Amino acid sequence: MDAQARIKELTDLLNYYNDRYYQDAVSEISDFEFDQLLKELEKLENENPVFRQPDSPTQRVGGGITRNFATVKHKFPMLSLSNTYSEEELREWDARVRKGLNGEPYEYICEIKFDGISLSVDYEDGILARGVTRGDGVQGDDISPNVKTIRSLPLNVRKFEAVLGRNFEVRGEGFMSNEVFREINTAKLERGEALLANPRNAAAGTFKLQDSAVVASRRLDCFIYQFISDNEKFATHEESLIGLKSAGFNVSDSWEKVTDIDAVISYIHAWEHKRHHLSCATDGIVVKVNRYDQREDLGFTAKSPRWAIAYKYKAESKSTRLRGVTFQVGRTGAVTPVAELEPVELSMTTVRRATLHNADEIERLGLAIGDHVFVEKAGEIIPKVTGVDLSQPNPDRQLIRFPAECPACGSALYRTEGEAAWYCPNTEGCLPQIKGTIEHFIQRKAMDIDSLGEGKIDILLENGLIGDAADLYSLQFEQLLGLEKVHTDEETGKERKVSFKEKTVQNILEGIEKSKGEPFAKVLFGMGIRFVGETTAQKLAQYFKHIDQLAAAGYEALIAVPDVGEKVAQSIHEYFRSEKNQGFLEKLKAAGVKLEADNIITEKEGHGLEGLTLLYTGTFEHFSREEIEKKIEANGGRLVSGVSKKLDYLIVGEGAGPSKLKKAADLGVKTISEHEFIAMIS
Ligand code: IVH
């Protein structure tokens, strides 16, 4: 196949897998294979830039640096909404709507008001052409490279021409999910860097970054809530939301159609608490008149439409007493002050503790023990101390002293120039650091040993059964049976007895055994090398293929790996020079943990083709005729001899028979490429 055709094929294929994943939550192909195909495409595009498609998925991973964002005028101004915090004012607004419509019946669509960054996204000829910020409402910044990194935003919607037309604009709210926000902050905390204040600011900052590769790594998302086009595709807002959703846009399912203001108020009450479980921060709800013709009748004021209004929830903030401050030592040795609070109910949970991040934060807040402090749980789910409640006197203010020694092992703490965190240097002997490393190793994203959760690591450590995570692999049934301990849940303060009965021990050992099947990249992430997160671990595993090669790599070789910068390379290099870490690795090797990357095509048999009939035509890159036939059978499919209406898939190879292709097209039989076939059986 020539480069042009292959580029086109890869573009369509990768966009297809992406949309399946982000719209239907189905991964038809492993991340690794996806990345391989993407790399192939990137390479071909670099060699043949003229053949690059306008909807190329390589734009999703960014890479381009924009010096200055161009200013673009919005076709239709991006207005704001009038706001209210009161139900009474909401009823007054409803009365004005009723009057404006001369008593005609009307419906409202209630939606969540997402607290992110408003975006306008232009589609031209069915292809995502431009993403623009709101700016001053009249003109905004063209941040297209950054917007294209949003994976839930389709790059090509030509298939949906009948529903949407080819030229239109969608508007929505760009955001950073609470999950991603937490991940980034956890990583920042470990590195002693300044934390992002909240998901909204994080998203706003990220959308304006000049390096789109960094933007891509922050996994921004967006909810679409408006469709604008010259041709009248829809008569109501409801139809537009359904149409957008059917075309693959990320329309939140939280909207509801109602017929009167009482129902609007019920909607407000229903979401007051539920909204905290959404992935995006929210600050209220939006009520919109459903019919477009009625919207036109109602019109606009100078700043906002008369047909919509935002109701805002008051940010929940409560005052409670600061009982004390404890100091926690994390996996990396960073010491974090934690506010111990008089328990207080906030957004559906009881808050007892809140991180104070670092010494600078305590100083900034001017905190003293016994103070009443305001605690807030805004978008970020994690409770936060926002200030001192000066209305509550605290006559004997006890100042908070940041310790000079590690609260766990007594070593003198140190602080690196330019970093906010204080660290305990005793990585080899400080218990919370050891425990943190083991917890890091067993977490879902690493070795996934969930049978070891909830205080069980403590028991193993306290009984001297393990000194590091690799020791888990030499645990014996008899050593564990009968051990017990009272475990206090850090979040709830509840006490519970953990005891190792027969079944528990069995589960633990099975979980440990199973973890030996986790791929190399996850093992590498689990090892807890400083600055090596999940993505870097994947890149390293792919690049070096074997732990020995990684361990032997010098600084120069490390820095050559995509995404590995100076700090990361330095850290990896140091990690493998430590005798303790070398011992740890030896134990992992002896245990049979995967320390090399798997081959791309697995020989394992599966059920990917269960109940399907298939036929192939042409020749293939990865299989001979016999091999592809064996693969079909081995994965539950049935090979048939000719194209008929009953055929599910025709696998098309190089030099495919034109008559078979034509017949398949005539009968509407789906054709797939070799790569799609591989994806189906992976
Ligand atoms: S509709 C004419 N719907 O709130 C305005 N806006 O104050 C049309 N927002 O700039 C906006 N969620 O950034 C609409 N479901 C939603 C929204 C929403 C959040 C933001 C948007 C807008 C601001 C208006």
Q: What is the 3-state secondary structure (H, E, C) of 528-591?
A: CCCCCCHHHHHHHHHHHCEHHHHHHCCHHHHHCCCCCCHHHHHHHHHHHHCHHHHHHHHHHHHH
- The reply to whether 56 and 20 lie within a common domain is yes
In a domain, 294, yes or no: yes
Mean pLDDT, the chain, rounded, equals 89
In a domain, 287, yes or no: yes
- The reply to whether 569 and 444 lie within a common domain is no
Residue 649 zone, left/alpha/beta (φ > 0; ψ -120 to 50; rest): beta
Active-site annotation holds for 113: yes
pLDDT more than 90, % of the chain: 58
**pLDDT over 70 at 157, yes or no:** yes
In a domain, 598, yes or no: no
In a domain, 37, yes or no: yes
Best residue among 82, 111, 113, 222 to mutate for probing ligand 1, ranked by most atoms within 8 Å of CB: 113
- The reply to whether 436 and 538 lie within a common domain is no
**At a CB cut-off of 8 Å and minimum separation 6, what does 448 contact?**
442, 515, 518, 522
Interval between CA 57 and ligand 1 midpoint (Å) = 28
- The reply to whether 342 and 298 lie within a common domain is no
The residue-averaged pLDDT of 420-429 equals 92
- The reply to whether 544 and 495 lie within a common domain is no
Highest mean pLDDT among 182-191, 254-263, 565-574, 590-599: 254-263
Residues of the domain holding 475: 431-515
Instruction: Count up the domains in the chain and report the number.
Output: 6
**pLDDT over 80 at 599, yes or no:** no
In a domain, 395, yes or no: yes
Indicate which atom in ligand 1 lies nearest the CA of residue 288: 1
Highest mean pLDDT among 147-156, 345-354, 540-549, 625-634: 147-156
Q: Pick the residue with more confidence: 607 or 176?
A: 176
- The reply to whether 128 and 212 lie within a common domain is yes
Output the residue whose Cα is nearest ligand 1's atom 23. 80
In a domain, 602, yes or no: no
- Per-residue pLDDT tens for 387-412? 999 888 888 888 898 999 999 999 99
**pLDDT over 50 at 31, yes or no:** yes
Query: Are 169 and 107 a contacting pair, CB within 8 Å?
Result: no
Least confident of 113-122, 396-405, 630-639, 643-652: 630-639
The residue-averaged pLDDT of 6-31 equals 88
- The reply to whether 156 and 265 lie within a common domain is yes
Q: Which of 53, 37, 56, 58 is nearest to 675 (CA)?
A: 37
The residue-averaged pLDDT of 549-578 equals 88
In a domain, 606, yes or no: no
3-state SS, residue 222: strand
- The confidence score (pLDDT) of residue 490 equals 63
205 sits in which H/E element: helix 199-207
- The reply to whether 508 and 526 lie within a common domain is no
Backbone angles phi, psi at 68, to 5 degrees: -130, 130
- The reply to whether 296 and 364 lie within a common domain is no
Domain boundary among 492, 515, 538: 515
Interval between CA 80 and ligand 1 midpoint (Å) = 7
- The reply to whether 244 and 139 lie within a common domain is yes
Q: pLDDT band for position 426 (50/70/90)?
A: very high
- The confidence score (pLDDT) of residue 486 equals 80
Ligand 1: residues within 6 Å at CB? 79-81, 111, 113-114, 118, 134, 173, 225-226, 286, 305, 308, 310
- The reply to whether 102 and 171 lie within a common domain is yes
- The confidence score (pLDDT) of residue 347 equals 65
The residue-averaged pLDDT of 297-325 equals 90
- The reply to whether 98 and 240 lie within a common domain is yes
Q: Which of 223, 184, 222 is nearest to 202 (CA)?
A: 184
**pLDDT over 50 at 602, yes or no:** no
Query: Are 112 and 252 a contacting pair, CB within 8 Å?
Result: yes
Q: What is the CATH number of the domain that holds 39?
A: 1.10.287.610
Q: pLDDT band for position 380 (50/70/90)?
A: very low
The residue-averaged pLDDT of 634-648 equals 83
**pLDDT over 60 at 123, yes or no:** yes
Domain boundary among 498, 515, 532: 515
- The confidence score (pLDDT) of residue 673 equals 92
- The confidence score (pLDDT) of residue 348 equals 59
In a domain, 605, yes or no: no
Question: pTM score, two decimals?
Answer: 0.56
Best residue among 108, 115, 118 to mutate for probing ligand 1, ranked by most atoms within 8 Å of CB: 118
- The confidence score (pLDDT) of residue 600 equals 42
pLDDT more than 70, % of the chain: 96
**pLDDT over 60 at 77, yes or no:** yes
Domain boundary among 560, 591, 622: 591
Interval between CA 81 and ligand 1 midpoint (Å) = 7
Q: Pick the residue with more confidence: 252 or 195?
A: 252
Best residue among 76, 79, 80 to mutate for probing ligand 1, ranked by most atoms within 8 Å of CB: 80
Least confident of 103-112, 594-603, 643-652, 657-666: 594-603
User: Which among 113, 384, 522, 660 is annotated as catalytic?
Assistant: 113
